[in-house]
Amino acid sequence: MIRRIIRETFFHFARNDFALFLKEHEEEILGIFREEMKRLDDEIPEENFFIDIKMVPLGETILKAALISIRRFLTEKYTPTKDGNIDEEN
C-alpha cells in the first residue's frame, strides 16, 4: 500500500515533465518509429495482404495519435462516463 502511495505521488509530480519530454522528443520517437515500420513493411511480402497498405504513413498517424493521447493523459484529468466514454473534467 505504501509503495502505491509513493508511486502515485511520484507520478503526480513527474507527469507534466514526462509529457513535456515526449513533446520535445516527438520527432526522434517518430523517426525511430518510421524506421521500424519501414522495416516491418519491407519484411512482410505484399502478397500476404489483401490490399497494399503503406505501413509507414499509417503507423506514423497512429503513433502521433498515441503520443497525443499519452500527453493528454499526463496533463489533463478525465473521468469515465456511464457508457464507458471519457469526459474531460474541468
Instruction: State the virtual CA torsion across 68, 73, 76, 80 in degrees, nearest 10.
Output: 120
Domain segments of the chain as ranges: 2-88
Ramachandran angles phi, psi of 87, nearest 5°: -105, 145
1-15, 53-67, 75-89: least confident range: 75-89
Q: What is the pLDDT of residues 8-65, one digit of tens each?
A: 898 888 888 888 888 888 888 888 877 877 777 777 666 555 566 677 787 888 888 8
What confidence tier does 90 reach under pLDDT thresholds 50, 70, 90?
very low
- Whether the CB-CB separation of 54 and 42 falls below 8 Å is answered with no
